[in-house]
Structures are given as structure tokens and as C-alpha cells.
């Protein structure tokens, strides 16, 4: 058979005929885009990408670069240093609003332009600037996409011709000392970041890398630490869709980011990465049909952050006394699936039922797919306590789920 997933994506596109709004017209090169293009892609966390529609059309990433620049800044400078300069509160304002947080004077978040221009300056080692920093960004976004991305020089030049508002924003943060470099150079390099070319398949892989705790599921490369990916997804959830962010989170429920060229990127943690493309924008600056496609995917496929399936209830597959051929008896628990806090608690409750009669205990992890740090600590503590109670415990763990592997340390914010 052929998997029905591509057919389904095709059908979703077919159902999203009603378009509205207009192609962004403040940048001449963007205004020239074909408004009827429509595409969707979806990447699984084991690295398979499905797509439909105009999936090979390249467009500039624009504001969808912001969460990735934020990720690289967090990776390169650490969470505390970045938070000192850029906040995490939704602004409720338009993407290019001239606003700073009262009191702290920080840009409110890294998803609006004033925060993104500031975040751009935080990528790389302190002191890295200009072309070298832009190259760090290009390479970083390429690692998220799993292929070499290039800049659309025509869009860059075109946008620089009308970048008055972004220049005003950069001068504002410069005047407060939040950034110390030449605002004109900073805006040019930020605009270069926005002018990287992607297609919907790239967006889906980039999203899947965030959803997969920072590891690109196609290349296997760890691009940023899990804590960084979590921070980025959190800010996308609350600030990614600008002044439509509240509606978006309740209706679609997928952390997302839109771009003025018509792209939307959605990343559902632990589940899937999504990219859509359609150039006409609604009044919030989000792609009209892209929003509709995401609404349908969320609705049809149950892809909502607040509606995720319970993780721990099925973790104990079998439990009870077993007898071996030699007449021996052991108390055996067979576990399955992922073990996180709720699953770990379920297992510990079973282990707590074992009597104080010194019976041997077997904990079988053969069918366990994944154990997070908390699940691992909980299981090991159960084993330790059984040992203290005088039980001989054997753990069947062929995939070494309870062994902490050293995965290396990519940066300060892991």
C-alpha cells in the first residue's frame, strides 16, 4: 500500500481555497511574489518529510528566522545573559511596534522586530559582528534545516531600501545602550538573516528539530541543547503569532512562527514539525491560508499542545509472580513505552506493593522505548529501595535505558 498521509495533505490544501488579505507590499521584491502559491510539509521525529502543493518553491524565511536566531543566541551566550537583554512577555502589539518593557527597558520578546534585531546582536561569541556573525547565523539555520541555505540578495537589497522602521528600532535600542554597534550595519545583517531562502520542506525539518529537543531528526545532528529548544518553543507559543498569539494557542495549539513572505512554521514538541506557505497575509501579518491549513491539521490530527495523550498510564504491561522451571519464584514487572514522571510514579507504586518477604524482583525494560532523566532517577531509586529492603533485583535492560550516556556539551545553555 501507499501511506495515505500525502493524500491527506493534498486534500487539506484542496479544502483551503478561500484566500484573503494581501501579499506584503512594503518591500517591492516581496510584492512581486505569486500570491496563489500554496504548500504544506510535515516532518516526523524519525526524520520522514511529507509534502504537497508548491513544495519546491523557495521564499525568504523572514520572521521565521527569529526563533532560530534566538536559539543560537541562547546556545552561544546562555539563558541568563540573553534574558537580561530581551524579555519573554507577549507584546500584544504588531510585529514592528516601537515598544520597550516599562521598568526594564528591554524589548518585550525576541519575536517582534525590536527584540529580533537585538537578539541578532547576541549570536556568536561576544565581539563577533557583521559578516562573521551572519555566517554563524546562516550555518546555524542550515543545521536546523539539514541543508545549506543561501541568501536572496535581491530581497535583501529591496528590503534595505525601505527599512526605515527597522532602522528606527535599531537606533532606539542603540540609544539605550542595549546594543553597542552601528544600527545601519545591524539592520543590514538582521535583514540578511530574514532573506535566507527556504521551501516548506525546510521549514518542516527546522520545526521538527525544535520539536525533537534540538536534534535534527534527518541528519541526527544536535543543533542546540534540549533546554534551549524548550525555551524557544515556549516563546513561540506565547509570542510567535504576534497580536494573534492568544487565539492561535487556544485554537491551533502548536507553537509557531510566521513570516511576511507567507511562511508559517509550527513545532509540536515530541510530535511533529510543520511548514506552510501561501503569500497573502491577514491583518496580523500571518499567511491567511497558512493559518487555515494549520487549523485543519490541528483539528483533524489532534495536534494540540493541550490535548496530548496521557503518557504514563500504559507503562506497566504485566506485573506479578512468575515461576521458573527450577521451582524458583520471582516478582516480575514488564514495562513498555516511554517512561517520564507519570510512568515512573506508576512503576514505583507497583514496586511499593511487593511484600517484605525477600522475593527476587525482575524489572524488564526490553519494551521500553525511552526514559527521560526523571523517569530514570525514579526507576533507579525504586531499585535502590528494593535492595535496601533485602530483595535481589535484576534489571533486564538490553538498550541500556538506565545508563546515562555522555552526549557531549554543545554550549553553556544545555
Question: Closest separation between CB of residue 25 and ligand GLN, Å?
Answer: 13
Query: Which triple of cell numbers denotes residue 45?
Result: 521525529
Q: Is 63 annotated as a binding residue?
A: yes
- Known catalytic membership, residue 8: no
- Known catalytic membership, residue 260: yes
Decide: is 95 part of the binding site for ligand GLN (CB under 6 A).
yes
Nearest to 238 by CA among 117, 45, 70, 26: 70
319 has which bridge partners? 333
Q: Map residues 53-82 to x or -, x wherever contact with ligand GLN holds by CB under 6 A.
A: ---------xx-------------------
Decide: is 281 part of the binding site for ligand GLN (CB under 6 A).
no
Of residues 248 through 267, those in contact with ligand GLN by CB under 6 A are: 259-260
Query: Which triple of cell numbers denotes residue 104?
Result: 526594564
Question: CA gyration radius for the chain?
Answer: 24
Q: Map residues 100-139 to x or -, x wherever contact with ligand GLN holds by CB under 6 A.
A: -------------x--------------------------
Count Cβ atoms below 10 Å from residue 106 Cβ, excluding itself.
21
Catalytic residue, chosen from 23, 260, 272, 315, is 260
Helices 373-388, 341-351: axis angle to 10 degrees equals: 10
- Known catalytic membership, residue 190: yes
Q: Is 286 annotated as a binding residue?
A: no
Q: Map residues 151-190 to x or -, x wherever contact with ligand GLN holds by CB under 6 A.
A: --------x------x------------------------
Q: Is 166 annotated as a binding residue?
A: yes
Which of residues 182 and 318 has its CB atom nearest to ligand GLN in the complex?
Answer: 182
Contact (CB, 8 A) for 252 and 298: yes
Q: Is 260 annotated as a binding residue?
A: yes
Query: Which triple of cell numbers denotes residue 246?
Result: 492568544
Decide: is 278 part of the binding site for ligand GLN (CB under 6 A).
no
Of residues 326 through 365, those in contact with ligand GLN by CB under 6 A are: none
49 has which bridge partners? 43
Catalytic residue, chosen from 23, 91, 190, 200, is 190
Dump strand ranges (E) for 282-381: 316-323, 329-339, 360-371
CA angle 332, 334, 340 (to 5 degrees): 125
Interface pick for ligand GLN out of 194, 232, 272, 274 (rule CB under 6 A): 194
Dihedral over Cα of 375, 381, 385, 388: its sign: positive
Contact (CB, 8 A) for 195 and 30: no
- Known catalytic membership, residue 242: yes
Which of residues 7 and 25 has its CB atom nearest to ligand GLN in the complex?
Answer: 25
Nearest to 374 by CA among 334, 342, 346: 342
Catalytic residue, chosen from 51, 63, 121, 258, is 63
Question: Closest separation between CB of residue 95 and ligand GLN, Å?
Answer: 5
Q: Tell me the pairing of strands 329-339 and 360-371.
A: parallel
Question: Cβ-count burial of 148 within 10 angstroms (0-12 exposed, 13-18 middle, 19+ buried)?
Answer: exposed
Query: Which triple of cell numbers denotes residue 207?
Result: 520545526
Which of residues 117 and 371 has its CB atom nearest to ligand GLN in the complex?
Answer: 117
Q: Is 109 annotated as a binding residue?
A: no
Kindly list the distances between the CA atom of residue 120 and the CA atoms of 106, 159, 176, 228, 256, in Å, as whole numbers in the listed order.
14, 17, 17, 16, 19
Decide: is 16 part of the binding site for ligand GLN (CB under 6 A).
no
Sequence ranges of the binding site: 63, 113, 159, 166, 190, 242, 260
Active-site residues: which are they?
A: 63, 66, 190, 242, 260
Sequence ranges of the binding site for substrate: 63, 113, 159, 166, 190, 242, 260
Q: Which residues bind ligand GLN (CB under 6 A)?
A: 62-63, 95-96, 113, 159, 166, 191, 194, 259-260, 285
Amino acid at each position: 500500500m501507499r501511506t495515505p498521509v500525502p493524500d491527506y495533505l493534498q486534500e487539506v490544501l484542496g479544502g483551503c481555497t478561500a484566500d484573503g488579505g494581501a501579499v506584503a507590499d512594503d518591500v517591492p521584491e516581496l510584492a512581486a511574489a505569486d500570491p496563489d502559491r500554496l504548500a504544506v510539509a510535515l516532518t516526523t521525529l524519525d526524520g520522514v518529510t511529507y509534502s504537497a502543493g508548491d513544495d519546491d518553491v523557495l521564499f525568504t524565511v523572514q520572521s521565521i528566522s527569529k526563533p532560530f536566531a534566538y536559539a543560537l543566541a541562547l546556545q552561544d551566550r546562555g539563558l541568563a545573559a540573553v534574558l537580561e537583554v530581551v524579555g519573554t512577555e507577549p507584546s500584544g502589539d504588531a510585529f514592528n511596534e516601537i515598544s520597550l518593557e516599562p521598568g526594564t527597558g528591554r524589548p518585550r520578546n525576541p519575536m517582534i522586530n525590536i527584540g529580533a534585531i537585538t537578539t541578532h546582536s547576541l549570536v556568536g561569541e561576544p565581539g563577533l559582528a557583521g559578516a562573521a556573525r551572519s555566517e554563524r547565523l546562516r550555518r546555524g539555520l542550515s543545521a536546523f534545516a539539514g541543508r545549506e541555505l543561501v541568501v536572496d540578495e535581491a530581497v535583501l537589497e529591496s528590503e534595505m531600501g525601505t527599512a526605515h522602521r527597522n532602522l528606527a528600532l535599531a537606533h532606539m535600542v542603540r540609544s539605550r545602550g542595549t546594543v553597542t554597534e552601528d544600527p545601519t550595519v545591524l539592520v543590514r545583517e538582521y535583514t540578511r538573516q530574514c532573506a535566507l531562502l527556504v521551501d516548506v520542506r525546510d521549514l518542516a525539518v527546522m520545526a521538527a528539530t525544535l520539536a525533537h529537543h534540538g536534534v535534527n531528526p534527518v541528519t541526527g545532528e544536535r543543533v542546540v541543547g534540549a533546554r534551549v529548544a524548550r525555551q524557544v518553543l515556549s516563546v513561540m507559543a506565547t509570542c510567535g503569532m504576534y497580536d494573534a498569539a492568544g487565539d492561535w494557542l487556544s485554537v491551533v495549539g502548536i507553537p509557531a512562527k510566521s513570516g511576511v513572505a507567507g511562511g508559517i512554521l509550527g513545532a509540536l514538541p515530541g510530535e511533529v514539525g510543520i511548514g506552510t506557505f501561501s503569500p497573502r497575509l491577514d491583518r496580523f501579518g500571518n499567511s491567511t491560508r497558512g493559518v487555515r491549513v494549520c487549523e485543519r491539521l490541528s483539528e483533524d490530527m489532534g495536534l494540540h499542545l493541550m490535548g496530548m495523550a496521557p503518557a504514563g498510564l500504559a507503562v506497566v504491561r504485566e506485573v506479578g509472580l512468575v515461576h521458573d522451571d527450577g521451582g524458583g519464584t520471582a516478582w516480575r514487572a514488564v514495562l513498555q513505552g516511554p517512561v517520564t514522571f507519570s510512568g515512573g510514579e506508576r512503576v514505583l507504586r507497583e514496586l511499593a506493593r511487593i511484600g517484605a518477604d525477600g522475593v527476587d524482583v525482575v524489572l524488564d525494560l526490553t519494551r521500553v522505548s525511552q526514559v527521560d532523566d526523571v523517569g530514570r532517577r525514579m526507576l533507579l531509586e525504586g531499585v535502590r529501595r528494593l535492595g535496601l529492603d533485602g530483595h535481589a533485583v535484576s534489571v533486564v535492560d538490553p538498550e541500556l535505558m538506565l545508563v546515562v550516556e555522555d552526549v557531549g556539551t554543545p554550549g553553556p545553555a544545555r
